[in-house]
Chains A and B, each alone.
Chain A
Amino acid sequence: MSKTPEYLAMKSRTLTLTHDIPISKTKTYWEGLKKGNVYATKCKKCGEIYYPPQVDCPHCLTSDVEWIQIFEGTLETFTQAYLKPQGFTHYEHDYIIAIVKAAEGVKVMGWFEDIDVKVAKVGMSVKITAKTMPDGFPAIVFKPRSQNKP
């Protein structure tokens, strides 16, 4: 993909940047995705639900949360990505990125599958699941619920 510059240019030395992101505190979430489940956290003191999950409640300044599974919601918005950033160019499908409002009130981002972008409609009911991609990365996946089908 490297372009031929119109003017003189020289290559910089290569920088490889890969991080070891700590997930000890959110292990339940990442383990859940492997089993197809999506979790949020709920503060045991004030009851606030957090998605993306966080183990610290900024309202109460406490760190005592329970994990709750979220199952379904309604489609709030979506797009189909034909432009793929570095790290995603090996995926052949043009994934649909969507935001779904879960029954619990929180919103979740994920890939909308088993649907044509031209058929997708704001307000559709979807199931919230997860899967592991062949390259090992997790993905949250929305599936249309049966009542949406013609």
Chain B
Amino acid sequence: MKRVAVIGVGNSKFGVRSDATFPEIAFEAIKEALEDIGITQKDVELSVVGTVGSRLYEMYPVPLINEYTGFTLKGPIRVEAACATGSAAVFTAYNAIASGYVDTAIAIGVEKMCEVDTPTSTAVGGRGCYLWEFHMFGTSFACYYALFATAHMAKYGTTEEQLAKIAVKNHHYAARNPKAHFQREVATETILKSRVVCWPLKLYDCCPISDGAAAVILASEEKVKELKAQDPVWLEAIGFGSDTGNLTRREDYTSLRSARIASEMAYKMAKVEPEDVEVAMVHDCFTIAEIMAYEDLGFCRKGEGGSLIDEGQTWIGGKIPINIDGGLKAKGHPLAATGCSMIYELTKQLRNEAGDRQVPLKRYIALAHNVGMTGQYCYVTILKR
């Protein structure tokens, strides 16, 4: 396997982007990524585009994205892994380079979610399993994660206040991230008093429905030298995990098995331990998901995720700063863009380019944890500089 580096990253503004179509948003991220390393489309051999696309007016959006952004002849591969689509795109591009098939590739994640109304978006998104779940019970993703919240609270005594603290932290950092969907801080009381969406989850426990795109350009070690790339960030490992499609076939509802499997694989590949990680992006589509991620990634013991946020250990200055770009919760979660956006933020962090939100680093080891649905997919990526 060849070594693979991240050499260029781009991220569009996340939010309700009624001003632009999906290729126009993809263009913003791709332009920034190409300019970041100072190359053109000609230097990129393969384009991998991730989009869930179920809310788009186009059913086959990828050739249109490639055409609009100047990648027509780059052999578009479309990938889809629900909310982990962005990581699936990075994984596919990584493998094309690691195997020696190509020397450069771009992974693009783009999602337009706000062109349909909320009940439609919820109905499309809630089809985690249509036949046995949605058809009869009207599940939504807020419901799915609420089922995990109830079980976690019952087993470990996790509280609504602890969930609220996740939202407080992530809004705090989103307010300092110009690309974030929400540019404001939120008080604990506001969160606790916000309307219930799926009990026990309230409005501020949920990520918004967002539009956005992110792009990551990858290259082999030889290509890094050839391009004289100044600040490559190495993709040391990508672990993957999966689990049942039906939620009723899970062992329990307090942890995501796929995240445990993916992280174990990634730590082993990168030869690092959870304690070595200095900054992480985790999949906080709902506040409970961040608490479970702390535990599944080994940043604390099982059941102690609530205490970790109580102690402030996941803020900058704590043991392991997490989602200091605002996370999915407040930066926004345009499904396929999320995985690429995590790599965007971590690359900026590892290059010490994160400004006000820069985490002081010594070992330069970072981790991204990107979950698809309720753990049907999970990718854990470890980056080093």
Chain A interface residues (CB < 8 Å from chain B) = 1-3, 5-7, 9, 12, 21, 51-52, 76-89, 91, 95, 97, 99, 106-111, 117, 121-123, 137-140
Q: A77-B148, A107-B248, A109-B133 are in contact. Are A84 and B154 (CB under 8 A)?
A: no
Q: Which residue of A lies closest to B114 (CB)?
A: A3
Most B-side CB within 10 Å, residue of A21, A106, A122: A122
Q: A83-B197, A107-B248, A117-B199 are in contact. Are A97 and B139 (CB under 8 A)?
A: yes
Tally of contacts, chain A with chain B, CB under 8 A? 120
B197 touches A82 (CB 8 A): yes
Complex Cα distance, B114 from A7, in Å, reads 13
Q: Which residue of B lies closest to A88 (CB)?
A: B138
B199 touches A109 (CB 8 A): no
Complex Cα distance, B381 from A40, in Å, reads 39
Complex Cα distance, B190 from A60, in Å, reads 54
A137 touches B143 (CB 8 A): no
Contact with A along B109-149 (1 / 0, CB 8 A): 00000010111101101100001111111111011001111
B138 touches A81 (CB 8 A): yes
Neighbour of B118 across the interface among A1, A21, A82, A109, CB < 8 A:
A1
B197: chain A residues within 8 A (beta carbon): 82-83
Min CB distance, A40 to chain B, in Å?
Answer: 11
A12: chain B residues within 8 A (beta carbon): 57
Neighbour of B150 across the interface among A82, A91, A122, A138, CB < 8 A:
A122
Complex Cα distance, B202 from A79, in Å, reads 12
Neighbour of A82 across the interface among B120, B136, B198, B248, CB < 8 A:
B198
B138 touches A2 (CB 8 A): no
Contact with A along B190-203 (1 / 0, CB 8 A): 00000111111100
Q: Which 3 A-B pairs have the closest CB atoms?
A: A79-B146, A88-B138, A86-B123
Neighbour of B138 across the interface among A3, A84, A108, A121, CB < 8 A:
A84
Complex Cα distance, B112 from A9, in Å, reads 14
Min CB distance, B276 to chain A, in Å?
Answer: 34
Complex Cα distance, B123 from A77, in Å, reads 22
A137: chain B residues within 8 A (beta carbon): 135-136
Q: A1-B119, A52-B248, A77-B148 are in contact. Are A82 and B138 (CB under 8 A)?
A: no
B119 touches A84 (CB 8 A): yes
